[in-house]
Amino acid sequence: MPHPPGSDDLVFFVNGRKVTKRDVDPEVTLLTFLRRNRTLSSQVLAQACSTGTPGPGCLPGLRVSGCRAGLGGGFPKQLRDAPPGGTGKPWLFSLTSAPVGLTGTKLACGGGGCGACTVMLSRYDPASRKPRHVSVTACLVPLCSLHGAAVTTVEGVGSIRTRVHPVQERIAKSHGTQCGFCTPGMVMSVYTLLRNHAQPSEAQLLEALGGNLCRCTGYRPILESGRTFCSDSDGCGQSGARQCCLDQLGDDSSPPGSCGPRAHMCSELFPRAEFQPWDPTQEPIFPPELVRMAESLEQHSLTFRGDRVTWVSPGTLQELLALRARHPEAPLVLGNTALGPAIKSQGLVHPLLISPARVPELSAVTETSGGLTVGAGCSLAQLQDILAKSISELPGEKTRTFRALEKALHSLASQQVRNLASLGGHVMSRHSYSDLNPILAVGGAALHLRSEGGARLIPLDEHFLAGVASADLRPGEILESVHIPHSRKWEFVSGFRQAQALQNAVPHVSAGMRVLFTEGTDAIEDLSIAYGGVGTTMVMVPRSCQQLLGRHWTEEMLDEACRLVLGEVAIPGAASGGRVEFRRTLLVSFLFKFYLQVLQELKTCLFLGPLSTLSVSYPQHPDQSLSALEDFCVTMPQGVQTYQRVDPQQPSQDLVGRPVMHLSGLKHATGEALFCDDLPRVDKELFMALVTSTRPHAKIVSVDSSEALRLPGVVNVIMAEDIPGTNGTEDDRLLAVDEVLCVGQVICAVVAETDVQAKRATERVRVTYEDLEPVVFSIQDAIKHNSFLCPEKQLEQGSVEEAFEKVDHVIGGEVHVGGQEHFYMETQRVLVIPKTEDQELDIYVSTQDPAHVQKTVALTLNVPLSRVTCHVKRVGGGFGGKVGRPATFGAIAAVGAIKTGRPIRLVLDREEDMLITGGRHPLFGKYKVGFMDSGRIKALDIECYINGGCTLDDSELVTEFLILKLENAYKIRNLRFRGRACRTNLPSNTAFRGFGFPQGALVTELCITAVAARCGLLPEEVREKNMYRTVDKTIYKQAFSPEPLHRCWAECLERADLRGRRARADAFNRQNHWRKRGVAAVPMKFSVGFAATSYHQAAALVHVYTDGSVLVTHGGNELGQGIHTKMLQVASRELRVPMCRLHIQETSTATVPNTVATAASIGADVNGRAVQNACQTLLKRLEPIIKKNPEGTWEDWVRAAFEQRISLSATGYFRGYKAFMDWEKGEGEPFPYYVFGAACSEVEIDCLTGAHRKLRTDIVMDAGCSLNPALDIGQVEGAFLQGVGLYTTEELHYSPGGALLSLGLEEYKIPTVADVPEEFNVTLLPSSGTQLAIYSSKGLGESGMFLGSSVFFAISDAVAAARRDRALAENFTVRTPATPEQVRMACEDRFTEMIPREDPKTFKPWSIPVA
């Protein structure tokens, strides 16, 4: 490729290899560069898929030269010192090959919010004469910004081909990986931490991982693996010993006759003693060439030119000012954390980007007697260090502003973003929700501006932040530095924030507050208050502050301040972001917190004694108010995971029942596990992008693709008329025909040479609509319009109406349960490769059901199923969202492949995925319950409606399962359950982990709590009174024994010490007015499987090769649940062969046909039976040979069998569990068996903000005889935390026009490391099993989801305590999810009463409810 005129060479290092790049496009990010693969033929691709090795490759215009710098990571010296490129050693090939195809760095969100693309970025600092290592998200880093930097990816840390790094080894062996998609990012965050701190603290570990999301594991094992490096780690937290207290006596060889809990229970999931030592001296050196570059005095401007954008990086301040003078409109880019996401979401193009990162003056820090001046180019992470140093060195009275800023920085974004984002960029972005700007503004910060015309100083105030011309930068000026004054003796400064989550979340409201008192008094001399998140810019309240000058710091002043602030700050009802009343309440809640903080400090300064200034309007015992001063902090989880030991007589080679590491764990940790989009590009491959509807219900008048087709690189546009076979079903089209039914429905698809070209072209496809009526979004609208997807489902037993007449009490209520986004880390993606003959296609797809993809593609193309082969190596999370949806995308891509004759790759962005695919069904439930004074329920009538979206999908099945599972653990003689699926103009909702049970069982449990409240009983007492007691039949007449249910419940309550904890919580609540604790326990009866026998069948294929190695293939798909690991455990036991001789390649429709979706928690059950069957067939064939040569080896027997012409290949088959349901009769046996469990959780809420912390959770789960306790406990923990997300943080918002507003991680919050309970104990119930499943095990994939509701009910319990304190009615229901908004507004007090409220009919809200 010719050198672009005027472009410079970009020089940087990747994994110790020098990269010189001439054709740098400023629009390309580091992530894109790293993931670029060389082009392979389809034959080589198939080999790469089977071996997991895509091979190296170089891009045109890329020069790679050798350098030993960076080769280390604990590798043997002779290998580290080997000459690069010439050894032929595979480890050298992987570490020193061209830095393309480094697919360990994952694309998951594209906005820097999930951490999946975390890498280590290192730069040499001439001042300190050492490199600075930081973790960054590669999706935000412009490639052009890397000049002089060293990048380390997960591949550069360690490899399974040589030696894995201790970080990689420990996260894998600690079972901290399930689907593995997030694991490389986790590894890089911890690795970077260790490069900076050889023995980090637990707090540093939590901060390092705060920006990394995982949807599978529940984080506990990830944190546990990182904790092994920490200096302050205390083993299990129950004991000071490194060994868990439960394991200090006894081991796997305990004698059979021994007794006591330690004789048969174990809590060691991984052997710490086997970990290789961590030696920080063996890490790679920083490339000397980069040291020389950094110390060079020649710093000329660098220019990189792309097709649309030019990047200029001046080397001196003078060059920067001259460039700024010539191009005042050009953005300045440092961290790209604001501009990058804006460019992506808004499609902005800036012809010129200026990067001042190499200008040393912008990184200067100056301390003076008046304060601290920090260069605008300093990162927020550097600002943290600068402030911490000043705080440690200066008197406390001078650092109050610094302390407020440092506190705000800990919760601002993630570590990766803080490492990139600059102070100047944060200030100049002027985000209305800024955490820092309100504090800087009230603290009197000033901005040092510079231009070619000179320097000037302006205040950082509301006029600047509002962009008022007279207070803003002039053309040609830059922000050089920010001056932060010291605080004074009688000056107090604080910052506040409240967000959806504790970590990595934009605040709903932020605040900075400062007061200066006349010396020696509490008279206000100066006052400044600023709020973020309440308008389009930061808002200050100068009029209110002016009126309070001279007032004393009393309750009367506080009341007046609240009234004035609410009058001056107007948040309209239609304000963007919604939550209007909540945000108004936070204005005054923060004021009250500030009032108390200052009052407490004044008490210290003036020795005032008790806080006697508080009147009876507040708690009568003022010390009860001090809990409002404390902030919730994130702490390292403690806890114990307990499971039953294997029989001491079990052979050591037999791994069934042992905590075996995930088969791909080490490959996940090294980035060598290939996912769908990691596959190398194929010859002539094209990229596809989708055009979706922008209207909720409209006629398609026309689709004009002419403009898109004229764009460079665009090959074709795929329309409905291009489909040679069936275009989906009548009511669920693959591509819309004539009409669209929701925002996000796929209309057509663009095919182009690159993904960028395809996505740009979608914006040029012009669709003309004609709106149609009605438009239905909510369940209430659907009921009103009689808009339903299927007939009502109903079950009834006893005489409900008659029972209502004979009870002591009858109450009713309504329940609203919001939807949930799957948020699998790997978005929907597919690669379709047409073959040259016989209309054959290979489809590589991320799916839970390859057979469904195969069938849909075959019908779409009008070809036999035998011509379509689907391959699934592994899936980066599914949770039900990859059962049906991948077939749609696979079929659309297949049409493109057939039309163009070229391979097609389709990868959805996170926002596209969330917009198009739907999720968990929102639910609206109504209940009527009749009960006695004792709490015994005699009659229950529940009617549920779910929001199914615009097409049927799985909504009828979800409705059926919802009704079948509504009774949960309770035997109520008179029941009536009814359910309907509503048709609305939203994207179709689909299968999701739990399949209706998490929503429906919540309705039932809310009935229980309502009954308990009316009877004056504890909820757990009412639960026990109404549980199944003996062998009985369900409402659908299926018999079962509840004995494991009672064991789970009793053991959970005992382990959790529920009675003692409730007493302690009550005592805490009496002593604290603004903090309340709640405790709750919930039981669970979860039915496993599909309600149809044919869906329980499974097949397997086992080959034994003449060298004794074994290839196992089955119909299950690896989603992270460890099904492949369990299948090899089964095969190893049955064949009596070590697991190391067994291998699973992939799931393919060509090897095991007609498979059933890996779902409903039975994947390991049924496929395990099929593998068992195949292995038993093989072993039976070998029996005569083994009898003749009993002393022979496995290899001897296999060779003999081959010589005797005995087949060494066998299919296995399992016909399935019997399951049926007759809905006309209302009876059947729809489920093979039940999983029982119980959870007890304790929380603490902040009544002023609605925030909560999870103090403790205890779970006891009936796992049968676990095939693999580590994997099963991981499933329980991961499902539990996903349930916690459903019930507390994950909130979907829809616009009045039906568009999903919660697109991406800025608005949608899944749990983070901060959401793990501070004490988290999980026990697998011993001596429990079902003879039905393989080795008496049970499937646990979904059941733990509902146990997350124990946190919801604990929050409700805490809210009830707050309401009792305020003499409020307790007949209330906290809506789900129990977000800070819901909790705060339920804790009504004088502050919620004083806020203004508007009639909802007078404005158009930002979002509308759909449940």
Residue 312: φ, ψ to 5°: -125, 130
Contacts of 710 (CB under 8 A, 6+ apart): none
Tokens 């360690």 found at: 158
Q: Is 1386 helix (H, G, I), strand (E, B) or coil?
A: helix
pLDDT at 84: 30
Model pTM? Answer: 0.94
Residue 301, pLDDT score: 93
In terms of residues, how long is the chain?
1411
Q: In the chain, helix, strand, coil percent, each to 5?
A: 35, 20, 45
Q: What is the 3-state secondary structure (H, E, C) of 1218-1249?
A: CCEEECCCCEEECCCEEEEEEEEEEEEEECCC
CB proximity list for 292: less than 8 A, separation 6 or greater = none
How distant, in Å, are the alpha carbons of 1249, 1264, 1301 from that of 510? 11, 49, 22
pLDDT score for 46: 54
pLDDT given at position 946: 98
Half-sphere exposure of 1178 (CA within 13 A, CB side): 32
Burial class (CB within 10 angstroms; exposed 0-12, middle 13-18, buried 19+) of 588: buried
User: Mutual orientation of helices 220-227 and 1269-1288 as an angle, nearest 10°?
Assistant: 120
Q: Which residues 6+ apart lie within 8 Å of 607 measured at CB? A: none
Please report the sign of the dihedral spanned by the C-alpha atoms of residue 805, residue 807, residue 810, residue 816.
negative
Q: Is the peptide bond before 341 cis (omega within 30 degrees of 0)?
A: no
**Sequence letter at residue 1078:** G
Distance CA(14)–CA(65), nearest Å, equals 11
CB contact at 8 A, 522 and 552? yes
Spans of the chain below 50 pLDDT: 1-3, 44, 52-99, 235-262, 608-621
**What pLDDT sits at residue 876?**
98
Quickly count helices (H) and strands (E) in the chain: 42, 50
Residue with tokens 């339903």: 788
Whether residue 1134 contacts residue 889, with contact meaning beta carbons closer than 8 Å, is answered with: no
Residue 1294: closest CA among 999, 915, 769, 982: 915
The predicted structure's pLDDT at residue 108: 97
Residue 967 has what pLDDT?
98
Query: Which residues does the annotation mark as catalytic?
Result: 1342
Given this model, what pLDDT does residue 571 score? 96
Question: What's the CA gap between 1410 and 89, in Å, rounded?
Answer: 59
